[in-house]
């Protein structure tokens, strides 16, 4: 099948590496961001909370794992699954806090540590919304590359090479026979002429037809 065929590893190497880097940033920035004043409350380095686990570490790890599969796998099905996994991680970074309103037991995600409008926007984009959108974008690129390779592998030439195992061998062969296997018009005329000649000889010996039949048969 086209999805199980192999693809060059270079096709998704760059996208996979970018997904790994973006996922690692999403999982680690809540712990290392306070070192350079880029954090959500509580702005303490290496401070673990349940909200950081479900809303940042888990989606970041999903993006990292998906990027690894996209980067190193030579199978379209595996690379495509990695792209889908990374897209789910990025989508969770975008929508996770909204879902947290329905399930508050996930923990309190906090708020940007800075109060100025510009820093709030930068922290919001770098932690959740912007980061998740970029991850989804690159995951979509990787998945599109896998789909394009699958359709290229399932082109007319590949379909002609596939033989249905449920059909007999003579039915599974191509119905378009080569031109050399078909009788030619000249051969058909020659056969018709020889048939008329044989019929004329038989009729002459029986005396049923006059001798002029030889002219017709000849």
Query: How does pLDDT run across 11-39, given as a tens digit for each residue?
Result: 678 999 999 999 999 999 999 999 988 98
Q: Say how many C-beta atoms besides its own lie within 10 A of residue 11's C-beta.
A: 18
Report helix, strand or coil for 56.
helix
For the chain, percent of residues with pLDDT exceeding 90: 39
Calpha distance 212→204 (Å, rounded): 9
Query: For residue 122, what pLDDT is reported?
Result: 92
Span of 22-36, 102-116, 117-131, 150-164 with lowest mean pLDDT:
150-164
Query: How does pLDDT run across 86-104, given as a tens digit for each residue?
Result: 999 999 999 999 888 888 7
Q: Do residues 28 and 56 lie in contact, with contact meaning Cβ atoms separated by under 8 Å?
A: no
Residues in CB range of 37: below 8 A, 6 or more apart: 113, 114
pLDDT bucket at 8, cuts 50 / 70 / 90: low
Q: Which residue in this structure is represented by tokens 């199980």? A: 4
Q: Say how many C-beta atoms besides its own lie within 10 A of residue 104's C-beta.
A: 9
136 has a pLDDT exceeding 50: yes
The residues with which 6 forms a beta bridge, in sequence order, are 75
Q: pTM for the complete prediction?
A: 0.66
Nearest to 46 by CA among 56, 58, 35: 35
Nearest to 84 by CA among 21, 14, 146: 146
Higher pLDDT, 73 or 163: 73
Calpha distance 97→91 (Å, rounded): 11
Query: For residue 111, what pLDDT is reported?
Result: 86
Whether the bond between 42 and the residue before it is cis, its omega within 30 degrees of 0, is yes
Q: Say how many C-beta atoms besides its own lie within 10 A of residue 1's C-beta.
A: 10
Nearest to 12 by CA among 75, 93, 63, 59: 75
164 has a pLDDT exceeding 50: no
191 has a pLDDT exceeding 70: no
Nearest to 135 by CA among 9, 28, 21: 21
Calpha distance 141→152 (Å, rounded): 16
pLDDT bucket at 202, cuts 50 / 70 / 90: low
217 has a pLDDT exceeding 90: no
Nearest to 138 by CA among 71, 51, 50, 200: 71
Query: For residue 37, what pLDDT is reported?
Result: 87
Q: What is the per-residue burial (b if ≥16 Cβ within 10 Å, else e) of 181-196?
A: eeeeeeeeeeeeeeee
61 has a pLDDT exceeding 70: yes
């Amino acid at each position: 099948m086209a999805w199980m065929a192999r693809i060059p590893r270079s096709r998704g190497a760059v996208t996979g590496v970018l997904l790994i880097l973006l996922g690692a940033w999403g999982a680690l920035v809540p712990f290392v961001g306070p070192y350079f004043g880029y954090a959500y409350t509580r702005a303490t380095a290496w401070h673990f909370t349940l909200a950081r686990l479900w809303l940042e570490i888990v989606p970041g790890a999903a993006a990292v794992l998906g990027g690894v599969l996209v980067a190193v796998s030579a199978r379209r099905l595996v690379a495509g699954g990695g792209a889908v996994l990374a897209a789910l991680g990025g989508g969770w970074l975008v929508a996770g806090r909204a879902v947290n309103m329905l399930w508050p037991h996930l923990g309190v995600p906090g708020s940007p540590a800075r109060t100025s409008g510009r820093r709030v926007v930068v922290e919001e984009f770098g932690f959740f919304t912007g980061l998740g959108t970029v991850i989804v974008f690159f995951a979509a690129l990787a998945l599109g590359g896998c789909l394009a390779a699958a359709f290229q592998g399932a082109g007319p030439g590949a379909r002609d090479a596939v033989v249905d195992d449920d059909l007999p061998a003579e039915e599974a062969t191509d119905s378009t026979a080569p031109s050399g296997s078909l009788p030619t018009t000249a051969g058909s005329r020659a056969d018709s002429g020889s048939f008329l000649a044989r019929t004329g000889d038989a009729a002459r010996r029986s005396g049923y037809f006059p001798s002029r039949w030889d002219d017709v048969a000849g």
